[in-house]
Structure 1
Amino acid sequence: MRRLPPLHPDMPLTRLNHGRPMTRRDFLARGLLRGAGLVSSLGVFSLFSNPRAAMAALAPDLENLKAGCGIQVAGAGKIPFICFDLAGGASMAGSNVLVGREGGQEAFLSAAGYSMQGLPGNMLPSLGSPFIDRSLGLAFHTDSGFLQGILEKTSAGARAGTNGCVIPARSENDTANNPHNPLYGIFKAGANGELLALAGSSSSDSGGNSMAPAWLIDPSVRPTKVDRPSDVTGLVNTGKLVGLLDQSDAVAVMEAVARISHSKLGQVDTAVTQDAVLKELMRCGYIEAADITDRYGDPSALNPVLDTNIVGDGGIFTEAEFNSDSEFRKTASIMKLVIGGYAGAGCVTIGGYDYHTGERGTGELRDLRAGRCMGACLEYAARMGTPLMLYVFSDGSVSSNGRIDDSINGRGKGEWTGDSSGTAASFFLVYNPGGRPQLLGGSPDEQARHQQLGWMRANGSVETASSPAANNVNLLVETVLLNYMALHGEAGLFGSRFPLHSLGNATMMERLTAFQPIV
């Protein structure tokens, strides 16, 4: 059989027998439209890191006035949240993250079930440790593209502080109607950012490829589009004064203007009915301008290109990698904002994951790059000493008919030959600088059931009765939100924060929670 070579990760997918692409999501899923980085805001500054420690505060008199103006500096003290939206239907279960029957990841499936998930008979997890990797806590297949990419970009310390959970859950293939995106819910859970509320890789209402659950959408925090370092540095404009003067002198000038304004406003009658409100707006405007100049007058404050933890010798990305791959630049922009505390939640959308091209190499190369992006986020969180919740989802999934691709990139695994919503799953990883997050449960068996929320049948398809999330994408999002709140010790507040939820009673919600609190 003559097999077509694998496609480069940036090449579009054209051999799918799907017909002509018609929507933005069709183009994105097939790699015809490049995804962008989603930056979103939910703060974690005050509790977990202080990357601005070297920056001076405003003068004491203005610091007091700043507090009265409600200028947000330290975010809302929530764990940073980054999600990866792999557009098109990526393989999650089996070939990447292990998913088992009732009982957990190592309640192994049948050989036929693993074959449908792309694993041949000589690479089955049931054969033992050569095919199971738990270096991230969550069990991956040792030949997982996601895993290999994550391992490339993470240190031993980052891996030791990471654990994860997988959620077997169906979602429809190649459709705009999967409400996968959780960003509005993360904001509603209490997170907020210093510069942004939410942001996304596209100009959609969700900021990503998949839509957001309709009942969670808040138009006041519609995601801002960010997909490159210049978008990050462009979030703040300190004006021409910085450049004409050095930063410290520029701050001094702005502080003087704020003081003069504050003094004069007390002696002026504006003749406006809401005189006090107007004066307060004017005072705070001058103070905010001084504060922005103080904190962002140095162009290196926000620029991921100038962050030596991200780019260059000793950085997560080499200069060559960073300059040659837009997905790395996008990811770097997001993790700089989110993990640095300037933003608290983000969604990186990467296109081209509808990769059932009749061979295996194309999907492997794309999984590897996505894994490198995931690993970069975990490693940057570790370097900054900041917790992180990383969530990975896709619209639908793929399946194999068992035919083997023995090419270099196929590595003897099953070719991807079609879409399959039944093999779909999502997963999340949690990094904690204080040590690996601990699963709920008093015994290994109980902990295994908290690490896999729901299960698959022996034939490799989702058991739709195994959890509320298994056959309802809206409830999958609610399960992710519950777990985000549980990391803060706030699972008991989930019902009041999300009164329209459908996850059931407290007993059911405890079953759907993976980890003990980490903050």
Structure 2
Amino acid sequence: PEIRPTKIDRPSDASGLVDVGDLNLLLDDPEDIVSVLESMKRITDFKLDLVNTRISSPASEDKRLKDRLSCEYLRSADTLEKYSNPDALDPSADPNIVGGGGIFSAAEFEGDREFSKAASVMKLVIDGIAGAGTIEMGGYDYHTGDRRTGEERDFRAGQCIGACLDYARRTATPVMIYVFSDGSVSSDGGIEMVNGVEKGVWSGDNSSTAASFFLVYDPAGAPTVMNQGSADPLRAQQIGWMRPDASVETSASPAANNVNLMVETVILNYMALHGQQNLFAQEQFFPGHGLGGAAARDRLVAFEPLQSMNGGVLS
């Protein structure tokens, strides 16, 4: 069956992924619990073979439903077998994350929900337990009539991003972080002094000034900018450009004026880090994409394959 997303908002959500109901109240040994779950799966499979779901359209739906029910027992048993100790998923129990030598002090971690949420997601992703994760942070519309509030919120987001990069460094794990927003703002020219620097005050929403970016860390060495054969070797570091009036040039790239194509561009770059951008247009990936031919797609790639990757997998 399909892999479903899971909402992780706090450390208890992460450790709660190992959930076997009341079995842990009846049995002390995780191996015994796994054996019970496996037996429950076998009994369920036998029973399902005798059940008529009365679902005949489409023809495969009956089998899909039965597989889904059967897999729930197997998934729980597999998760418990891998992570018999929930602390293995709990960021607050990881000395790399919380404590005297950790990324956050205990006071920081317990006093800021954004830090504990970011840590919960980053641990699952960077430890290889989750395939990908999204850390959503609210309150970034900058409708406060000043610049200072936005600067403080940006700094907080930067701390969370920095925590992800630092945890990747500590665990020697490559990571790609994509930073995006559901909107953008502009200034009317008003100036505010923030930390000794004069900056424009955010005055309102402006969909023409948006920009997204991604960061890449590789423990095997700094990522190398893709060689585009251009006179400007840094061209690949920025896809597209801004007009003199500070608005996005919408014809600069397919991603500049289409949010779906921007997502495709990000995925293309993720695959390129693995040396697999040649697979992007294949049937099992994105055959109906809108990024053009192979040469056009190569111009949208920022980095060469990571040194820590070999054949698309971590070496």
The answer to whether TM tops 0.5 is: yes
One-letter identity of the residue aligned with 1:294: E
| Cα distance between partner residues in 2 of 1:411 and 1:272 | 74
Q: Which residue does 1:503 correspond to in 2?
A: 291
Contact 2:16 2:86 in 1 (8 A): no
| Cα distance between partner residues in 2 of 1:421 and 1:509 | 25
Contact 1:251 1:290 in 2 (8 A): no
Q: Which residue does 1:470 correspond to in 2?
A: 256
Q: Which residue does 2:239 correspond to in 1?
A: 453
The one of 154, 177, 187 equivalent to 1:400 is 187
Q: Which residue does 1:45 correspond to in 2?
A: none
Q: Which residue does 2:120 correspond to in 1?
A: 333
Q: How many residues end up aligned between the 2 structures?
A: 291
> Structure 1, residues 257-307: CA drift from partner, whole Å, max 9, x if none?
969x98x9xxx9998499xx9xx9999888766544332221211111111
Q: CA deviation at 1:243?
A: 6.3
Contact 1:440 1:446 in 2 (8 A): no
2:185 aligned with 1:436, yes or no? no
> Structure 1, residues 67-122: CA drift from partner, whole Å, max 9, x if none?
xxxxxxxxxxxxxxxxxxxxxxxxxxxxxxxxxxxxxxxxxxxxxxxxxxxxxxxx
Contact 1:241 1:250 in 2 (8 A): no
The one of 2, 7, 10 equivalent to 1:228 is 10
Map residues 337-376 of structure 1 onto 2, 5 A cutoff.
337-376=124-163
The one of 512, 516, 519 equivalent to 2:300 is 512
Residues 359/242 of structure 1: CA separation in 2 closer, same or farther (3 Å cut): same
SS of the residue corresponding to residue 180 of structure 2 reads strand
| Cα distance between partner residues in 2 of 1:374 and 1:391 | 10
Map residues 291-330 of structure 1 onto 2, 5 A cutoff.
291-330=78-117
| Cα distance between partner residues in 1 of 2:258 and 2:80 | 47
Contact 1:238 1:296 in 2 (8 A): no
Contact 2:228 2:299 in 1 (8 A): no
SS of the residue corresponding to residue 234 of structure 2 reads helix
CA RMSD after TM alignment: 3.2
| Cα distance between partner residues in 2 of 1:442 and 1:331 | 35
Residues 407/489 of structure 1: CA separation in 2 closer, same or farther (3 Å cut): closer
Residues 225/289 of structure 1: CA separation in 2 closer, same or farther (3 Å cut): closer
Q: CA deviation at 1:442?
A: 6.4
Contact 2:147 2:202 in 1 (8 A): yes
One-letter identity of the residue aligned with 1:372: Q
Contact 1:388 1:432 in 2 (8 A): yes
Q: CA deviation at 1:412?
A: 1.9
One-letter identity of the residue aligned with 1:473: V
Map residues 92-111 of structure 1 onto 2, 5 A cutoff.
none
SS of the residue corresponding to residue 345 of structure 1 reads coil
SS of the residue corresponding to residue 375 of structure 1 reads helix
One-letter identity of the residue aligned with 2:301: T
| Cα distance between partner residues in 2 of 1:257 and 1:472 | 47
Map residues 167-178 of structure 1 onto 2, 5 A cutoff.
none
SS of the residue corresponding to residue 394 of structure 1 reads coil
SS of the residue corresponding to residue 225 of structure 1 reads coil
> Structure 1, residues 125-158: CA drift from partner, whole Å, max 9, x if none?
xxxxxxxxxxxxxxxxxxxxxxxxxxxxxxxxxx
Map residues 43-62 of structure 1 onto 2, 5 A cutoff.
none
Q: Which residue does 2:197 correspond to in 1?
A: 411
Residues 373/445 of structure 1: CA separation in 2 closer, same or farther (3 Å cut): farther
With a CA cutoff of 8 Å and minimum separation of 6, indicate the structure with the bigger relative contact order.
1
Q: CA deviation at 1:416?
A: 1.2
Structure 2 unpaired stretches of 5+: 53-62, 310-315
Quote the sequence identity (%): 55
Contact 1:398 1:417 in 2 (8 A): yes
| Cα distance between partner residues in 1 of 2:156 and 2:192 | 20
